[in-house]
């Protein structure tokens, strides 16, 4: 625990900086998604607010803040108000363990460029992603609406199923790095990123995080064409905004984690480490947007089939193979 004033100030500064950065990046990711999707579909996208539409996130925030906050009749009021926070806060919290640069030496002190370097960082992330399930489930349950309930149930089943394969695909990473600490995992990839040793685990992790942030091939919890907006169908105003921005924070966080676990985190030639990390995160964000512009939604049985009968066994076999290689070599 940091006890002296400087440490506390430093922690607060890092928290504020990171929080501001993540929120801004998430807001602009919304704009980026709208623009890139528009380009994919030969449209222009929002380009009216400010130069090139760059003030669009600001306009969206003002719109959401000034909208009426509706609580449907018969809703479970407490859970209804709690659910958006349950969806957004774990996503932001996960950012605390991601290292976005090598430790800095400032005023003779060693400052790690992450909020906390937990020795169980990976488990912390898995635990938080489990808590994020409650946002979807409670939001769907408390809305007192059939669409929201169906979306919540789907989200619950989907997130739990894919969490399994996600966690299993991270086991080889831990085996190679000999640590749950994210800083150690990044340090272990100083020469060769783990994607070279673990392409299969990377693929499984990629598919699982797409399902984990409810993105397009796996957007069953909010499937517009059948469930209107799924678990957040009844939400309005900034509570809807929390769900919405939580989804985009999730993309950034999971992209950052994918970069940390498989692409060597902030390691990279020529450019500064923080820039490399940002580039990798943005590459994942673009991949998710690109996927949304390309892939159709899976059917529910296909989703479960892929999760339980393909990804989970593959991840288990991958763990076995990795273990065998580590033992033999």
List contacts with another protein (CB under 8 A).
36, 38-44, 47, 290, 293-295
Residue 99: CB atoms within 10 A of its CB come to: 25
Question: In the complex with another protein, which residue's Cβ is closer, 16 or 44?
Answer: 44
Is the Cβ–Cβ distance between 262 and 206 less than 8 Å? no
Question: In the complex with another protein, which residue's Cβ is closer, 42 or 68?
Answer: 42
Specify whether the backbone of 226 is left (phi greater than 0), alpha (psi in -120 to 50) or beta: alpha
Q: CB of 34: closest distance to another protein in angstroms? A: 13
Spatial separation of the C-alpha atoms in residues 241 and 288, rounded to whole Å: 20
Is the Cβ–Cβ distance between 141 and 152 less than 8 Å? yes
Q: CB of 47: closest distance to another protein in angstroms? A: 8
Q: CB of 323: closest distance to another protein in angstroms? A: 26
Question: In the complex with another protein, which residue's Cβ is closer, 48 or 63?
Answer: 48
Residues 6+ apart with CB under 8 A from 295: 216, 217
Q: CB of 290: closest distance to another protein in angstroms? A: 6
Spatial separation of the C-alpha atoms in residues 30 and 94, rounded to whole Å: 20
Question: In the complex with another protein, which residue's Cβ is closer, 47 or 144?
Answer: 47
Question: In the complex with another protein, which residue's Cβ is closer, 61 or 291?
Answer: 291
Spatial separation of the C-alpha atoms in residues 130 and 124, rounded to whole Å: 10
Q: CB of 44: closest distance to another protein in angstroms? A: 4
Q: What is the DSSP annotation of 52-103?
A: GGTTHHHHHHHHHHHS-----TT--HHHHHHHHHHHHHHHHHHGGG---SPP
Question: In the complex with another protein, which residue's Cβ is closer, 104 or 310?
Answer: 310
Q: CB of 42: closest distance to another protein in angstroms? A: 5
């Amino acid at each position: 625990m940091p006890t002296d004033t400087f440490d506390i100030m430093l922690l607060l500064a890092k928290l504020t900086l990171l929080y501001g950065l993540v929120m801004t990046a998430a807001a602009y990711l919304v704009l980026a998604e709208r623009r890139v999707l528009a380009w994919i579909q030969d449209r222009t996208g929002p380009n009216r607010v400010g130069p090139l539409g760059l003030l669009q996130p600001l306009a969206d925030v003002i719109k959401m803040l000034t909208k009426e906050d509706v609580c449907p009749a018969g809703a479970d009021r407490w859970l209804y108000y709690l659910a958006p926070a349950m969806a957004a806060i774990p996503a932001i919290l996960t950012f605390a363990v991601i290292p976005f640069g090598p430790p800095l030496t400032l005023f003779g002190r060693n400052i790690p460029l992450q909020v906390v370097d937990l020795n169980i960082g990976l488990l912390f992330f898995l635990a938080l992603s489990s808590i994020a399930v409650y946002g979807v489930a409670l939001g769907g349950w408390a809305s007192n609406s059939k669409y929201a309930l169906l979306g919540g149930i789907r989200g619950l089943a989907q997130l739990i199923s894919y969490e399994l394969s996600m966690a299993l695909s991270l086991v080889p990473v831990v085996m190679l790095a000999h640590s749950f600490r994210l800083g150690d995992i990044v340090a272990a990839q100083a020469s060769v990123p783990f994607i070279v040793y673990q392409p299969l685990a990377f693929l499984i992790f990629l598919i699982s995080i797409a399902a984990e942030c409810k993105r397009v091939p796996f957007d069953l919890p909010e499937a517009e064409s059948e469930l209107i907006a799924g678990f957040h169908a009844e939400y309005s105003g900034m509570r809807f905004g929390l769900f919405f921005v939580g989804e985009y924070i999730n993309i950034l966080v999971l992209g950052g984690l994918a970069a940390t676990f498989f692409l060597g985190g902030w390691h990279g030639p020529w450019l500064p480490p923080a820039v490399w990390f940002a580039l990798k995160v943005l590459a994942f964000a673009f991949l998710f947007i690109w996927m949304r512009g390309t892939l159709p939604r899976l059917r529910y049985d296909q989703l479960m089939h892929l999760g339980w009968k393909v990804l989970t066994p593959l991840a288990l076999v991958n763990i076995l193979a990795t273990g065998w290689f580590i033992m033999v070599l």
